[in-house]
């Protein structure tokens, strides 16, 4: 056996025992010696040994106390401890194991046996450390992969929204701004992080179903015909059908399906009322009408945020969730939220 770089600490008050152990191990390991409990602790704090051979009966602090102290400290608790005792006393042995020792050697000992036990426990320790390292690596890999997937999902979503918006330039940026406002409302209403993420995704994609509406209808100036308005109403269901095939960790498709439902049952497609509509969809509805009303549409000029908020307020509880309305108005009135910055960016995008 080649000499290992592992450091073995021998703790014993008896010089003969120390000599015996040193002679047994010196050709195989680096050795440290401490003649009592206090010195042992001092040694450990200076050079962390890989294993400790610990005598039980010592003047002052005994071996059990040393063991207890080491096991209570995170930095040292994983150092394997082998107790050494003069008597083959089962009660003592059990006490040692209970305190966290890995093994026992009874005096008088055979050099061969001591070496084998030390070797076994050192290799167990190194295996434990390798496993722990591997776990840390695996956790890191899972984290990186998850991040990569999230990035891919985000990229896919932005391509999808771009595709919708290329066909429908007047609502370009609409989904993005709706998502931002919906997230701000959901945050101020203290929804859970998961629900806020769901509101964000659903907001970003909520009008994706318009991909089925002819561009001539979407972009035609002037008021829509009744038949065209009716046709437009299929977009939440188309969006639902498109999105339900994606295994989102949140109910994104359902929220999109419900974004035109209204509190009094006057919405579509199902005419759901009040609590039958998911809270996330009620929030999205408030963000959607606020953004849509405050900005330009081919069939009317931009009405501005004040008109949008006044309309929201007058339909609070009737069409729109009262808490979401309050949160939305508060966000604008307090200056915590505005569409301005986004719109500037959007306009810029158009010029380019």
User: Residue 268 carries which DSSP code?
Assistant: S
Number of residues engaging Fe ion in binding (CB under 5 A)? 2
State how far the Cα of 228 lies from the Cα of 222, in Å rounded to an integer. 12
**Closest CB to Fe ion among residues 261, 288:** 288
**Closest CB to Fe ion among residues 203, 251:** 203
Residue 30 φ/ψ, nearest 5 degrees: -80, 140
Q: Which stretch binds Fe ion (CB under 5 A): 99-107, 134-142, 250-258, 283-291?
A: 283-291
Q: How far is the CB of 232 from Fe ion (least distance, A)?
A: 8
Among 288, 293, 295, 328, binds Fe ion (CB under 5 A): 288
End-to-end C-alpha distance for the chain, whole angstroms:
73
Q: How far is the CB of 174 from Fe ion (least distance, A)?
A: 6
Q: Which stretch binds Fe ion (CB under 5 A): 85-93, 97-105, 205-213, 344-352?
A: 205-213
**Closest CB to Fe ion among residues 92, 177:** 177
Query: Cα 345 from chain centroid?
Result: 31
Under the binding rule (CB under 5 A), the answer on residue 165 touching Fe ion is no
Q: Which of residues 16-55 bind Fe ion (CB under 5 A)?
A: none
Q: How far is the CB of 77 from Fe ion (least distance, A)?
A: 58
Closest C-alpha among 55, 117, 109, 112 to residue 85: 55
**Closest CB to Fe ion among residues 6, 288:** 288
C-alpha distances out from residue 349 to 4, 50, 183, Å = 66, 63, 23
What torsion, rounded to 10 degrees, do the Cα atoms 67, 71, 75, 79 define? 60
Residues forming a β-bridge with 55: 84
Residues forming a β-bridge with 30: 7
Among 207, 261, 280, 321, binds Fe ion (CB under 5 A): 207
Q: Return residues touching Fe ion (CB under 5 A).
A: 207, 288
């Amino acid at each position: 056996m080649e000499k290992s770089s592992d450091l073995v600490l021998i703790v014993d008050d008896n010089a003969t025992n120390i000599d015996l152990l040193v002679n047994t191990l010196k050709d195989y390991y680096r050795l440290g010696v401490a003649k009592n409990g206090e010195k042992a602790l001092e040694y450990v704090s200076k050079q962390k040994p890989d294993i400790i051979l610990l005598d039980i009966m010592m003047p002052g602090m005994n071996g059990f106390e040393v063991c207890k102290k080491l096991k209570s400290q995170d930095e040292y608790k994983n150092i394997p401890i082998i107790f050494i005792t003069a008597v083959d006393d089962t009660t003592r042995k059990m006490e040692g194991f209970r305190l966290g020792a890995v093994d026992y050697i009874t005096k008088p000992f055979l050099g061969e046996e001591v070496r084998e036990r030390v070797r076994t426990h050192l290799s167990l320790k190194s295996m434990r450390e390798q496993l722990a390292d591997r776990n840390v690596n695996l956790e890191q890999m899972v984290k990186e992969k998850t991040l990569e997937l999230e990035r891919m999902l985000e990229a896919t979503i932005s391509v999808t929204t771009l595709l919708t918006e290329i066909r429908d330039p007047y609502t370009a940026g609409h989904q993005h701004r709706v998502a931002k406002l919906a997230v701000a409302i959901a945050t101020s209403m203290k929804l859970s992080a998961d629900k806020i993420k769901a509101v964000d995704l659903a907001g970003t994609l909520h009008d994706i179903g318009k991909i089925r509406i002819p561009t001539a209808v979407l972009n035609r100036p002037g008021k829509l015909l009744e038949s065209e308005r009716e046709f437009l109403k299929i977009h939440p269901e188309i969006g639902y059908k498109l999105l339900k095939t994606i295994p989102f960790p949140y109910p994104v498709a359902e929220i999109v399906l419900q974004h035109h439902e209204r509190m009094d049952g006057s919405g579509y497609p199902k005419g759901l009322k009040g609590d039958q509509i998911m809270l996330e969809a009620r929030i999205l509805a408030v963000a959607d009408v606020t953004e849509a009303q405050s900005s330009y549409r081919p069939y009317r000029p931009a009405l501005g945020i004040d008109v949008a908020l006044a309309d929201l307020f007058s339909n609070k509880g009737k069409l729109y969730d009262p808490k979401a309305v309050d949160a939305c108005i508060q966000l604008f009135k307090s200056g915590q939220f505005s569409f301005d910055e986004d719109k500037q960016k959007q306009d810029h995008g158009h010029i380019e």
